[in-house]
Structure 1
Amino acid sequence: MQKLWGPQDVADYFGVPVGTVYQWRTRGTGPTGKRVGKHVRYRPEDVEAWFDAQPEGVI
């Protein structure tokens, strides 16, 4: 099992501010994350699949 990513890990992966990751989540446009207690966690493969599915120039 891979380590799950937090919002900061996703932000680092894309090179964007962590606030952008929170905006994506609020708007429902970002990668799928799940709550683990009070924290949001992302599977790295879900983040990569979301990125691959985005049209050119969207992110």
Structure 2
Amino acid sequence: MTNDVKKTCDVCGRKAIGIQVLGCCGSVVCEVHAEDRLKHMSPGEKIEWGSCFFYRYE
């Protein structure tokens, strides 16, 4: 991903750890607001799981 990617949580404004798309809704999230699947991913890892997509920032 490029440096122009949003790096703050959509919920609280903290430093984001990645992006999660749950069906039709996507969010940039911090450690507090991330789904467990995203929290346990390695930096740079991407997962497509059904209608969900997760990307952990590096």
TM-score by length of structure 1 reads 0.25
More helix by share: 1
Larger radius of gyration: 1
Answer 1 or 2: higher relative contact order, Cα 8 Å, separation at least 6. 1
TM-score by length of structure 2 reads 0.25
More strand by share: 2
